[in-house]
Amino acid sequence: MSRVVILGATGSLGRHVVQQAIAAKHDVSVVVRTPAKLPAEVRDKVSVQQCDLSATSTNDLAAMLSGHDAILSTAGLVTEGDLFVNLVDRIVTSLEAIPSSDRPACWFMAGAGLLDIDGSGRRGVDLPVIKSTYWPHRVNFDRLRRSNLDWRLLCPGPMVELPPIGLAKLRVSLDQLPVRVPAFGRALAGALFLPVFASLIPEMIIPYADAAALMLGNLARGAEMSHHRVGVALPLGMRGRKDRWAAQPKSAA
C-alpha cells in the first residue's frame, strides 16, 4: 500500500485513477477545485484537499503534496496551451520545494506525439499541424528533464471510456512509439510523414482504465519507468476508434 495523491481527480482519467487506487487499498488523497464533483462514495474513502492548482502558491501546494509516496497528475489539457504549461511548471516547482529525501515518485501526462518515431529522435510534435496544438507536451517534457524529480511521463494516444484490455495484453514502450513504423515512412520528412503517423494512432487508442492501471502499477521510486516517456498500444493487429473498437484483434499475419 502506498500513500498517493491524485491531481485532476474529477477528470476522465483521474476518476479511473482514484477508483483503482481505492480498490488497491492505497492511502488516497485528492486535490480538487470542486469537491462536490467527487461521487459521495469516493469522498468517504479519500482525503480531500480543496485547491485551485492555478492559483495556490507553490509553498502551499508543496505542503499538500509532501508526505506521499507518489503523485499522479492528470490535471490540465494540452489544448489550453500556456495555461497547461504554467500548471505543470507550478506542480514541478512545488515538488522541487520538498526535501529530496521526501519527494514522491511522480506521474505526469503527455501524448504519443512526444515519443521518438525512430532512431533519429524526431517526434510527432515536430511535425506540421501536430506541433501547433501539442507543443505544450514538449515544453513540459523539457521542464521535467531540468528537474531532479523522480518523474515518469505517460504518453498514450487518445483515450476512451471502454472496458480495459488488460496490461498483460498491451504493448508498452520506453521513449519510442510502441508500434512499428513502416520502413518506407522512416525516410519521409515533415508533412510527408503526417499520413503515416496518423495511420498509427488507432493502434494507440486505449481505455482510460488501462492508462490508470499502468500508472498505479509503477509507483516505486527509481523503478524501470523512472525518467522515461512511456508509450502504450493495443495488442498487435487491434485498432481503436474514439467511440469503440473498430475491429476485433486480427492475427499478426
Give tens-digit pLDDT for 211-226. Answer: 999 999 999 999 999 9
What span, in angstroms and rounded, lies between the C-alpha atoms of 58 and 80?
20
Q: Which of 31, 49, 38 is nearest to 10 (CA)?
A: 38
The residue to which cell 487506487 is assigned: 21
In this structure, is residue 252 part of a structural domain? no
pLDDT at 253: 25
pLDDT at 7: 97
Give 102-123 pLDDT, tens digit per residue: 999 999 999 999 999 987 788 9
Half-sphere exposure of 75 (CA within 13 A, CB side): 27
Number of domains in the chain: 1
pLDDT at 247: 47
What span, in angstroms and rounded, lies between the C-alpha atoms of 37 and 77?
18
For the domain that residue 188 is a member of, what is the CATH number? 3.40.50.720
In this structure, is residue 243 part of a structural domain? no
pLDDT at 248: 43
Report CA-CA distances (Å) from 23 to 4, 26, 99, 104, 232.
13, 8, 30, 21, 23
What span, in angstroms and rounded, lies between the C-alpha atoms of 151 and 145?
9
In this structure, is residue 11 part of a structural domain? yes
Average pLDDT, the chain: 91
- Find the radius of gyration of the CA atoms of the chain: 18
On whether the CB atoms of residues 120 and 113 are closer than 8 A, the answer is no
pLDDT at 244: 63
In this structure, is residue 241 part of a structural domain? no
Half-sphere exposure of 49 (CA within 13 A, CB side): 20
In this structure, is residue 149 part of a structural domain? yes
In this structure, is residue 65 part of a structural domain? yes
In this structure, is residue 163 part of a structural domain? yes
On whether the CB atoms of residues 240 and 193 are closer than 8 A, the answer is no
Q: Which residues of the chain have pLDDT under 50?
A: 247-253
* DSSP, res 131: H
Quote the domain boundaries for residue 110.
3-233
